Structure 1
Amino acid sequence: MIKVKQLAHVCIFAHDLEATRSFYRDVLGMDTQFNFLRDGKIFGFYLNCGGRSHVEVFGKDEARYSDLNQINHFCLEVENIDAAIAHIRSKGIDVTAKKHACDDTYQAWIRDPNDVKIELFEYTEKSAQFAGGDRIADW
């Protein structure tokens, strides 16, 4: 039997590698763990999400984004969602208002330069992810 420990990484494609790197570094505070090189040039990189989780990014000029061929979204846990929202807004990035979700988490949403949706999560003591119990979806 397999036991999954955690999300290892999510892979996204980027039209502009350096704009994407800057967004994740400057807006979300995610440092580059390492670069992928080919013929002496960077063609991708890993971003550190904390622990052993990463976002893997590869340059792909012909990348298309639609509901059929993108990751729908990925979610990053943050320590303080209010502070995260204020920081993101200070960088000139659109971010939704904080929402108390049906699973008893707080969430907000942004998009990266490639239009990848990113959910920001702050858990609470009542979050279903830890407390269990079915929740009625309100969307």
Structure 2
Amino acid sequence: MALNLKQLAHVCIFARDLDETRRFYEDVLGMTRVFDFTRDGRVFGFYLDAGNRSFVEVFENASAEYSGRNQINHLCLEVEDLAEAVAHIQTQGLEPTEPKKAVDDTWQAWVDDPNGVKIELFEYTAASAQFTGGDREADW
């Protein structure tokens, strides 16, 4: 049994100013917005294509600090088979969350590294918003 890691799927960052952050990543770095996260009809986050099935996920957080803390919310790793990955992690004495389908139609589970860094494990589906687009209403 193994994790069957495919690649880094995305890095999630917090943004004090969502519009300015979007302009930077789109206009300066040349990334393309794939979809928005909305809550109550208001955009509070978005996904940007970083190429080769890798993405930058951005969420609004007005209190984010950039003095060496709170810059990256989590790392997301794409795996071949999420159930197998969770089973493998459990054999290492850790308890990841149960796999669930997220609002972006990907399967996900979570585990913390020894430093408390959140690691999201991702298995894409044919309907994943990263590839099909379409804004998604958050359920959290």
Residue 30 (structure 2) pairs with residue 3 (structure 1): yes
Name the CA distance, whole Å, in 2 between partners of 1:135 and 1:107: 16
Identity %: 56
Which gives a bigger RCO, structure 1 or 2 (Cα 8 Å, sep 6+)? Answer: 2
Q: TM-score, normalised by structure 2?
A: 0.52
The structure with the greater share of residues assigned to strand is 2
Higher radius of gyration, 1 or 2: 1
2:81 matched to which residue of 1? 80
For residue 103 of structure 1, give the secondary structure of its aligned residue in structure 2. coil
Name the CA distance, whole Å, in 2 between partners of 1:114 and 1:126: 33
Name the CA distance, whole Å, in 2 between partners of 1:82 and 1:130: 22
Structure 2 residue identity aligned to 1:114: N
Distance apart, 1:128 and its partner CA: 0.3
Gaps of 5+ in 2: 1-26, 32-48, 55-63
Gaps of 5+ in 1: 8-50, 54-66
For residue 73 of structure 1, give the secondary structure of its aligned residue in structure 2. strand
Name the CA distance, whole Å, in 1 between partners of 2:124 and 2:133: 13
Q: TM-score, normalised by structure 1?
A: 0.53
Structure 2 residue identity aligned to 1:122: E
For residue 89 of structure 1, give the secondary structure of its aligned residue in structure 2. helix
Distance apart, 1:6 and its partner CA: 3.5
Name the CA distance, whole Å, in 2 between partners of 1:115 and 1:132: 31
Distance apart, 1:87 and its partner CA: 0.2
Map residues 35-114 of structure 1 onto 2, 5 A cutoff: 68=65, 69-70=69-70, 71-114=72-115
Corresponding pairs, count? 82
Name the CA distance, whole Å, in 2 between partners of 1:79 and 1:6: 20
Name the CA distance, whole Å, in 1 between partners of 2:134 and 2:73: 25
Distance apart, 1:125 and its partner CA: 0.1
For residue 72 of structure 1, give the secondary structure of its aligned residue in structure 2. strand
Residue 108 (structure 2) pairs with residue 117 (structure 1): no
Q: Which runs of 4+ in 1 moved over 6 A?
A: none
Deviations 1:42-67 (A, max 9, x none): xxxxxxxxx8x9xxxxxxxxxxxxx8
Name the CA distance, whole Å, in 1 between partners of 2:93 and 2:128: 30
